[in-house]
Amino acid sequence: MPCSPFTSPTTTGDNNNKKKDGSSLREFKLNESTFLASLMPKQEIGVDRFLDAHPEYDGRGALIAIFDSGVDPAADGLQVTSDGKPKILDVIDCTGSGDIDTSKVVKADADGRICGASGASLVINTSWKNPSGEWHVGYKLVYELFTEDLISRLKKERKKKWDEKNQEEIARAVKQLADFDQQHIKVEDLKLRRTHEDLQNRLDFLRRQSESYDDKGPVIDAVVWHDGEVWRVALDTHRLEDDPNCGKLANFMPLTNYRTERKYGVFSKLDACTFVVNVYSDGDVLSVVTDCSPHATHVAGIATAFHPKEPLLNGVAPGAQIISCKIGDSRLGSMETGTGLIRALIAAVEHKCDLVNMSYGEATLLPDYGRFVDLVKEVVNKHRLIFVSSAGNSGPGLSTVGAPGGTSSSIIGVGAYVSPAMAAGAHCVVEPPSDGLEYTWSSRGPTADGDLGVCVSAPGGAVAPVPTWTLQRRMLMNGTSMASPSACGGTALLISGMKAEGIPVSPYSVRKALENTAVPIGDLPEDKLSTGQGLMQVDKAFEYIQKSQNVPCVWYQIKIQQSGKTNPSSRGIYLREASACRQSTEWTVKVNPKFHEDAGNFEDLIPFEECIELHSTEETVVKAPDYLLLTHNGRTFNVVVDPSNLCDGLHYFEVYGIDCKAPWRGPLFRIPITIIKAKAVTNQSPQISFSKMLFQPGHIERRYIEVPHGASWAEATMKTSGFDTARRFYVDAVQMCPLRRPLKWEIAVIFPSPAAKSFAFTVVSGQTLELVISQFWSSGIGSHESASVDFEVVFHGIKVNQEEVILDGSDAPVRIDAETLLESEELAPVAILNKIRVPYRPIDSKISALSPDRDKLPSGKQILALTLTYKIKLEDGAQIKPHIPLLNDRIYDTKFESQFYMISDSNKRIYSSGDVYPSSANLPKGEYILQLYLRHDNVQILEKMKHLVFFIERNLEEKDVIRLSFFSRPDGPLMGNGSFKSSSLVPGIKEGLYLGPPPKEKLPKNSQQGSVLLGAVSYGKLSFADQGGTKNPEKHPASYRISYVVPPNKIDEDKGKGFSLSSKKNVSERLKEEVRDAKVKVLASLKQETDEERLEWKELSALLKSEYPKYTPLLATILEGLVSRSNIKDKIHHDEEVVDAANEVINSINREELAKFFALKNDPEDEEAEVLNLVSNTCSYSHRPF
C-alpha cells in the first residue's frame, strides 16, 4: 500500500537528536524564499551545495521509473526537464485495471457509421486513415477509471443537475395531473380512469426516482484502428458533457501509445481528468491509463519537478526524466497487485531505467523473501538498476519496517526526516523543534532477521504537484512515501554526475557512497534503527564516488548462523527474547563479495582480494577477530556476543570491516547487532508500572517487558498530569513471533485535561513486549509545561488446552481444560458462530500464455496464466467475501507471482473483484461465476493449482448468529442440564467444562455439507466494563478461533409416514411425475418482460393447466408468475386474474387430508417439509385413476 498518510498533521521523533552537517537550521526565521524552499526540502540533503558546484548535474541523463499509483502527465512541473527534454517518456497501467476489450471488429456502413460496443451509433471522422477498414470497438464505465474522491465530486455535481431536471419534470407532472382533475371532476369512463392512473403513476415514479437515484456513471465508447503506421485510439465521451455536441467520437483527436507521441487527453471539463492510451495484442486490448490517487504525481514531483518560474519549488532532480508505472489497481482503491509489480519491473528494464522509486509497501512475515524480491535482485545485479523504496509508516515501534523497502537487501530503504524549516514552513507549526529529527511514524528496524532495515533518511514531507482532477496545483503530503523520492532524486543527481564524468554506474557503489557519507541523526547508537546511517548528503556522496571510481563494484553479502543451530541464516544478530540474553552466544559470519553479472573472471573475480580490519563498537559485549583476508569466494569468521551484563533496555552494536589499504572508504560491510533486555515482572501481582515519565512535543519513551508465562492479555491504565493545553499521545505495543508479521497494537489517545484512561490488548505469553509511548509532535506546542505520565500494565491470562476449537459436526461436546497461572481470574466463557465459509472446487481450468507485449520477463521467460472458474449459487442475497488460504494476505513474502478474481453474473456484469486482500461484496440472490487468475512462469506450479479450493465467506445476520452453550457435564448438550456460566479460577487448579455444538435447527438454511461455521471464543472477563467482550468474544483482546464443520444433511424420514406413497409407485408413474415437474420448472423459468414473452408464458400455462388441472405446484407457479409480472397495462383485469389463480390454488388442496395431518403429532423441525409432502401427495391423489 502507499507509504504516506494523506492527512496532516504528522508526528515526529525524539527531540534530543542533533544535526552534524554544519547546516543547522536552528534559530532561524523564515522569509519568503526560505518558506518556499521549505515546501520542497532540498537543502537538508545537500542538494543546494551539490548544484552550486555542478549545475549541469541536475539529473540530466538519469531515467527514473515511478512504481506508484500513476503519474498525471498534465500536472504542474512535469512537462519538460531543465534542459528542455520531455519529462515523462511513458505512462503505463501495469495492473490492467484500465483495460478495455476491443477484440470485436466492425466495419463502417455507407454513411460512415459504426455500431459501438455499447450499442451506440458512432460517426467516423472521414479524415482518419484506416487502410483495412476494420474498427476495433469496446466500452467502459468511466467511473471504473476514476478515483473515489473524483467519483464523489462528480456524483455530487451530476446529482445537482439531475435534481434540477427531475424537479422540473415533477412540477410538470403535478401540473398535468392538476389540470386533468380540474377538467374531469368526475371520472367514470374507463379510458379517463386509465389516463388519470397513468398521470398519477408518472408522478409517483418521478418521486421514487429522486429517492432511489443511483449514478453508475456514463459509458464511454472506444474505437481502435491501425492507420498503416501505428495503432490509433478515439473515445466517444459525449455522455460526460452537458453540451450534446461535445465529446462526439468524430471530434476526438486520435491518440496512440503514449511513448510514441507523448500526447494525452482529458475526458471532460467537469472531471478535468487526464488519461493516456496504450494498445496491446494487435488492437484487441486498449489500456486507458488514469491515476488511482494523487500519490504518484506527488512522488514524481518531489523527485523531478521543474518549475522554471519558481525554481525554489523544483524537485530534487529537475533534469531527470521518468516513466510512470502504475502498480496501484483502480479496482482495488489504490492497492498494488503482483501483476502490476512484475509488469513494472519488465517496463523498467525495457526502458533501460537507471533508478526505480517505489513508495509502496506493507508488513511482512519473511524478510528478503518472495518472488518480487527475487526479481528485484536479478535486475539490480544484471541490469544495474538502483532501487529506492520507502521504509514504511508503522513506527515508532521497533521491527516495523515494511516490505520491500525496509526488508530487502537489494533495495535502498528510506526513513522520513523532518527539519525545523519543514516544520515551520510546510507544516505551519507555531514553534518548530530546534533540531531535525525522524518523524515518529517512520518505521524502525531491525528486520526479523536482524538487518538494520532503514538504509538512510531523507525529508519525509513536501508540497508537490498533484493531478489536475484535484482542482489544485500542489498539496502537502508526508510519509516515507515522500522521503523515498527525495532520496531517489538525490541519487539521480549522482547518476547524472557519474554519467557526465564517465564513472561506471553501479547500485553497489552508489549505496555504499550514500551510507558512508550520511550525517548521523541523534547521539545514541540505537538511533540507527530509526534513521539508518543518517541523513543522506548528495554532495559528500558524489565526492566519495569520484574518489572510489576505480574501486571494484561489490556488494558484500552477509549470512549469519548461530553456532550449533540449524535455523535459516540471517543478515544480522537480533537478541530480543529473555532466554537469548542470559548467556554468551557464538555466531558464524560469512562475507560473500557479489559482483554484477557482467563481471569477468580474469578482469574482476580472480584479482579481487581485500585485507579487512574488523572493528566492534563495544568489545566488552561483541568480540570479533582483528583482520580478515577476503577473496571472491568469500570468507567466514566467528563473533561472540555476551549480553549478560547489559542493563534493561535497548542496545545496538556493530561489527564492521575497514579496507586496510583504503580506510577512507569507511565500512565496507556492517553486521548489525540489536539486543533488547526486557524487564521481568517480579511482583506477586503480575503488574508493572512506569512513573513520572515527562513528555514534550515529539518525545518518545520505550519500555521492554518480559510478558509473564500464562498471560494472554494486558490491561493498561495511563494517567496524565501537569499540563494545561490538550495533549495527544500514541501508545504502541509490539511483539515478535516466528514466521508472523509483527504483532502490533496501537491507539491514539487525547487528553483534554489531566485524566486517566484504560485499555486492553493482546499479548503473547513469554515473549518480549515493547511498549512505546509518544507525544504527537505538534501536540502541546506553545505550552512549555511537560506532561507527566504514569503507566501501569496488569497482565491477565486463562490458559486452555486447545486455543483453536474445532467442532467436528457430531453431537459430542468438546472438553476445555482451563487454568490461570498468574492470579485469580473469573472464568466466563463466551462463544459465537457468526460466519459461514463454503468450499468450492473449480468447474473449469485453463493454462494459457500471456501476451509478450507486457508479460515477458527480462530473463526472456514468458509468463503463463491459470484461469480457474467456480460456480456459486446464493439462495438469498448476502454479503460475501472470497477466501484463498494458500494465497491471501501476502504480496511480497510469497513465491507466487499474483492472483486476481472477478465475480460476475450470467449477464457478465461484474459485481466484485479483488487480489490478495479480498473485500466483501453485496450480491443479490442468484447464480454467479467467479474467475480466479493466477500467474507464474513455471507451468508445473500452475498445474498443481488446477484444483485449488476456494472459499466463499459471509457474515451471518445478527438474528442468525449462533451463541454456543457451555456445560459442566459431557451429556449436558443432549440432556439440557448442567449449564456452565462462570466460576472463579485459582492459580494452580484446573477446571474442566464442555463446549456444546450448535443446535441443528439453528444452522443456516441451505448450509452445505463440508461448509464451516466460524466464530470466536473467549474465556476471561475484563476488569473494566467498557471494553466489551461479555457478549461478543471477538471484542475481547484474548479471543480464539472456533469452527464447526457442517455435517451431512439429515436423511429424509418421510418414508412410511402419513400419506407418502412414493415407495409404492411404479417406474412408469414416477416417470410421469418427473416429466410433469420438469414442465412446471420450464414454466417457472420463462420471463415476461415483453409482450411476446408474456404471450408465450400464457399459452404454456394454459396447456399445462389442461393437462394437470388440480396440480397445486403448477397452479402456485402460475399464481407466482402473475404476481411477479411488471409493466401491467390493464391493472384491474390483472388483479382479477391474480384472485382467480389464488382461488384455484386453494381449491386444489384436499382439505380432508390436510385436517388429518394437523391432527397428528409431528416433529416441529419436519413440519414444513411434511406439509409440502402432503400437498404434493394430495395433488397426486386427485388425478390418479381409481
Q: Which residues are annotated as catalytic?
A: 68, 295, 481
Please give the backbone phi and psi of residue 891, each rounded to the nearest 5 degrees, phi first: -105, -50
User: Whose grid coordinates read 464451516?
Assistant: 1012
Grid coordinates of 972: 449436558
Cβ neighbours of residue 1047 closer than 8 Å, sequence gap 6 or more: 809, 810, 1009
Grid coordinates of 360: 509502496
Whole-angstrom Cα distance, residue 711 to residue 125? 75
Q: Is 906 strand, coil or helix? A: coil
Whole-angstrom Cα distance, residue 1108 to residue 1118? 12
Q: How far, CA to CA in Å, does 281 sit from each of 103, 115, 235, 285, 1114? A: 9, 22, 19, 6, 52
E runs forming strands in 391-451:
412-418, 437-438
Whole-angstrom Cα distance, residue 609 to residue 631? 5
Task: From 555, 590, 554, select the one nearest 571 (Cα to Cα).
Answer: 590
Grid coordinates of 367: 524478510
Q: Go through 381-409 and write b for each residue having 16 or more CB atoms within 10 A of its CB, e for each that does not.
A: bebbbbbbbbbbbbbbbbbbbbbbbbbbb
The partner residues of 628 in beta bridges, in order of sequence, read: 612
Beta carbons of 707 and 764 less than 8 angstroms apart? yes
Whole-angstrom Cα distance, residue 786 to residue 722? 7
Whole-angstrom Cα distance, residue 852 to residue 843? 28
State the DSSP string of 223-250. Answer: EEEE-SSSEEEEEE-GGG-SSTTSS-GG
Number of C-alpha atoms within 13 angstroms, CB side, residue 365?
10
- Kindly report the number of other CB atoms within 10 A of residue 605's CB atom: 15
Grid coordinates of 871: 460456480
Whole-angstrom Cα distance, residue 78 to residue 307? 9
User: Whose grid coordinates read 543451530?
Assistant: 565
Give the containing element (helix H, strand E) for 878: strand 878-883
Long-range contacts of 371-375 (CB under 8 A, 24+ apart): 371/338, 371/342, 371/894, 371/895, 371/896, 371/897, 372/338, 372/341, 372/342, 372/345, 372/404, 372/891, 372/892, 373/403, 373/404, 373/408, 373/410, 373/892, 375/342, 375/345, 375/857, 375/858
Cβ neighbours of residue 167 closer than 8 Å, sequence gap 6 or more: none
State the DSSP string of 753-822. Answer: SS-EEEEEEE--TTSEEEEEEEE-TTTTTT--PPEEEEEEEEEE--EES-SSEEE-SSS--EEEEEE-SS
The alpha helices in 429-521, defined as continuous H runs, are 480-500, 507-517
Grid coordinates of 921: 461484496
Identity of the residue numbered 1180 = S
Task: From 149, 17, 731, 64, select the one nearest 415 (Cα to Cα).
Answer: 17
Q: Is 437 strand, coil or helix? A: strand
- Kindly report the number of other CB atoms within 10 A of residue 1109's CB atom: 13
DSSP 1027: G
DSSP 1143: H
